[in-house]
Amino acid sequence: MNDPLWNDLTAIFREVLDDDALTLGETTSAKDVAGWDSITHVLLVVAVEKKFRVKFTAGEIQKLQNVGELAALIRRRLAKPA
Amino acid sequence: MELDGLNFLVFLGCVAGLQATLPARARAALLLGASLVFYALVSLPWLVLLLGLCLVNFAAASHLGRAGRPGGRTLVFTTTILLDLLVLIGFKYLPGIEAWLPATPTGGIWRIAVPLGLSYFTFQMVACVTDAYRETWQPEGGFRDFALFGLFFPQITSGPIPRAGSLLPQLRAGGAPTAPDRLAGLRMIALGFFKKFVVASRLSEYVTDIFNQPPAGNFVPSLLAAGFNVMQLYADFSGYVDIAIGSARFLGIRLDPNFDHPFSATSVSGFWRRWHMTLSFWLRDYLFMPLVIRLRNGGKPGIAAATIFTFAICGIWHGATWPFLLFGVAQGVAMALELLTKSWRTRMIRGLPERLVDRLGNVWVLVFFMLSEIMFRSTTLPQALTLYRHLFHLRLSGGIGGLLGAQPYSMALDGLAIAAWLGVDYLYDRTTDRATPWFVALCATLILLLGCVGSANFIYAAF
């Protein structure tokens, strides 16, 4: 997928999850990735917020179901900061 | 009525018989009626209390789940959660102030009992209202279904803690058990009774003796008691939950699993994803995540602090004593250390065979849990410290009696019970529907030959 946002997300996931071969899809969720537990979830959110210079609310973070929803949330926030 | 009694089996059989004869539309009402009778036999006033709480939580969840974002959401959510927690805390921790209360009119002291299953019930209610507030679950159906969800008799006393999204639709349908459901349920119930009466009850005698008075001059009895303590707790709790899940399955209702081979975990955090899973996941979703999200800018130290706090609460939930608090804090600290040292450990083990790393992880989990469970089992801090002192005072004296700390005959029966557990566990995974009667007969025979019926209470009923 040649999308800068998607490429950045993949790089973040690979670094946090320590898996250079990890590939992400719209529906990829914690169930599909070894090591993606609640702690890793928070580390991913922190890394995403830092990279894209955005801030999510607690409710938004807890509602995220998969990578596609995270990407959509980043796009919304970049288009219209909270 | 306790799940591990013959009268419960008769009760379950009657409910299943009626369920088979009633039309589908009447089955949910039957399950609710059975749950009300089951709890009324425990205590009628407590049943009224739980029904009242069900009504309040149902009204709150319905309000929060209504389309159009009605006003006062945060107020309704906060008030309901506070009420749930106040009732739980009141019943659970007020007994600690019994000694401070004035004498009763007859000159005695007040006794405040905790309604059976109140903790699990409260967790269910808090989850429903929170999910409705977060808009991740939409309440469906009426109060009858919600009350059945709150009071469903196989799980109310000991969990597993169900989520409305998976259990409520099943209960609304009233259960339609197939023959494989009935047989799978029977196998689980038989396994649960076996674990409870052959393993947990038998080992409890030795553990209780040694914890009450660890023999001086020899560390082996304390070590054995610490090991047996873990086995007893696992057999007791997982056995009771097997009976609960098996009973529900017998009625065509699938409850979430609560244990998944916990000692195959290679880390303490992995262990808690396999042990008392429904409580762990509840703590994760409704305490840890809201907390850690707010502390996330603190990086790994912030996450470590949230982990320790969550498990300290988990410890205190078991009881307001120092040993329970320290047990919880120890779990949190172990997980925090695993998090903070992860990169360093990854570098250290690079190049080592994966199987070796996994086995080392298994040993770490087992030793850590065995040592921390001493705290869990002890009623006072001095009792735990005495056992630790005997455990680490590596002396050997007193011949075979000193080594075992009990009569060799009793110890041989304990060993036999553990060996039988391994065998029954092996067969359970391989028993087909056709072979189910044989498996049930084997468990019954072993209970008759090796069981200690009525000698130990269900440990988790106290929580």
User: Angle at Cα B37 formed by Cα B256 and Cα B141, nearest 5°?
Assistant: 55
Q: How many CA atoms lie within 13 A of B285 on its CB side?
A: 21
The alpha-carbon gap from A36 to the nearest alpha carbon of chain B, in Å, equals 12
Between chain A and chain B, how many beta carbons pairs sit less than 8 Å apart?
38
Q: How far apart are CA A19 and CA B346, in angstroms?
A: 12
Taking an 8 Å cut-off on Cβ atoms, the answer to whether B339 and A39 are in contact is yes
Helix axes B322-340, B381-392, angle to 10 degrees: 60
Residue A68's alpha-carbon distances to A9, A17, B27, B131, B384, in angstroms, are 10, 18, 41, 22, 50
Residues of B in contact with A39 (CB under 8 A): 269, 292, 303, 307, 339
Taking an 8 Å cut-off on Cβ atoms, the answer to whether B292 and A37 are in contact is no
Asked whether the beta carbons of B226 and B387 are under 8 A apart, the reply is yes
Taking an 8 Å cut-off on Cβ atoms, the answer to whether A62 and B290 are in contact is yes
- DSSP letter assigned to residue B196: I
Looking at residue B399, its pLDDT comes to 59
Indicate which of B283, B287, B293, B343 best probes the interface with A, i.e. most A CBs within 10 Å of its own CB.
Answer: B293
Residues of B in contact with A61 (CB under 8 A): 289, 293
Residue B317, token pair as written in the block: 């939930």
Taking an 8 Å cut-off on Cβ atoms, the answer to whether A63 and B134 are in contact is yes
B230 contacts: CB under 8 Å, gap ≥ 6: B366, B369, B370, B373
Taking an 8 Å cut-off on Cβ atoms, the answer to whether B292 and A42 are in contact is yes
Of B89, B87, B91, nearest in space to B111 by CA: B91
Of B136, B290, B296, the CB nearest to A63: B136
B24 to chain A, any CB pair closer than 8 A? The answer is no
pLDDT in tens, chain B (463 residues): 666 688 899 999 999 999 999 998 899 999 999 999 999 988 888 899 999 999 999 999 999 987 666 668 899 999 999 999 999 988 887 765 555 555 655 655 555 677 888 999 999 999 999 999 988 888 888 999 999 999 999 999 888 999 999 999 999 998 889 999 999 999 999 999 999 999 999 898 888 888 888 777 778 888 899 999 999 999 999 999 999 999 999 999 999 999 999 999 999 999 999 999 999 999 999 999 999 999 988 888 999 999 999 999 999 988 888 999 999 999 999 999 998 998 888 888 888 898 999 999 999 999 999 999 999 999 889 988 988 988 887 666 655 555 565 567 788 888 999 999 999 999 999 999 999 999 999 999 999 988 886 655 556 656 6
Looking at residue B190, its pLDDT comes to 96
Taking an 8 Å cut-off on Cβ atoms, the answer to whether B293 and A45 are in contact is yes
Residues of B in contact with A59 (CB under 8 A): 134
A39 contacts: CB under 8 Å, gap ≥ 6: B269, B292, B303, B307, B339
A34 to chain B, any CB pair closer than 8 A? The answer is no
Residues of A in contact with B354 (CB under 8 A): none
Nearest residue in chain A measured CA to CA from B338: A39
Count CB atoms within 10 A of the CB of residue B290: 16
What amino acid occupies position B208? T
B296 to chain A, any CB pair closer than 8 A? The answer is yes
Residues of A in contact with B307 (CB under 8 A): 39
Q: Residue for token digits 């405040």? A: B112
What amino acid occupies position B153? F
Taking an 8 Å cut-off on Cβ atoms, the answer to whether B292 and A58 are in contact is no
Residues of B in contact with A58 (CB under 8 A): 290, 293-294
Looking at residue B216, its pLDDT comes to 75
Helix (H, G, I), strand (E, B) or coil at B180: helix
Of B55, B75, B61, nearest in space to B147 by CA: B55
Q: How far apart are CA B221 and CA B232, in angstroms?
A: 15
Residue B189, token pair as written in the block: 């119930």
Residue B376, token pair as written in the block: 């869990």
Within B341-407, residue ranges assigned H as helices are 342-349, 354-377, 381-392, 399-404
Residue B412's alpha-carbon distances to A7, B270, B310, B404, B421, in angstroms, are 63, 33, 41, 10, 14
The alpha-carbon gap from A34 to the nearest alpha carbon of chain B, in Å, equals 12
| ipTM confidence score | 0.84
Nearest residue in chain A measured CA to CA from B134: A59
The domains of chain B are located at 6-176, 181-462
Taking an 8 Å cut-off on Cβ atoms, the answer to whether B292 and A38 are in contact is yes
Residues 242-281 of B with CB under 8 A from A: 269, 273
* DSSP letters spanning B156-168: TTT-----HHHHH
Nearest residue in chain A measured CA to CA from B336: A39
Taking an 8 Å cut-off on Cβ atoms, the answer to whether B293 and A18 are in contact is no
* 3-class SS letters over B276-336: CHHHHHHHHHHHHHHHHHHCHHHHHHHHHHHHHHHHHHHHHHHCCCHHHHHHHHHHHHHHH
Asked whether the beta carbons of B242 and B424 are under 8 A apart, the reply is no
Residue B131's alpha-carbon distances to A21, B128, B285, B319, B360, in angstroms, are 35, 5, 10, 27, 39
What amino acid occupies position A35? G
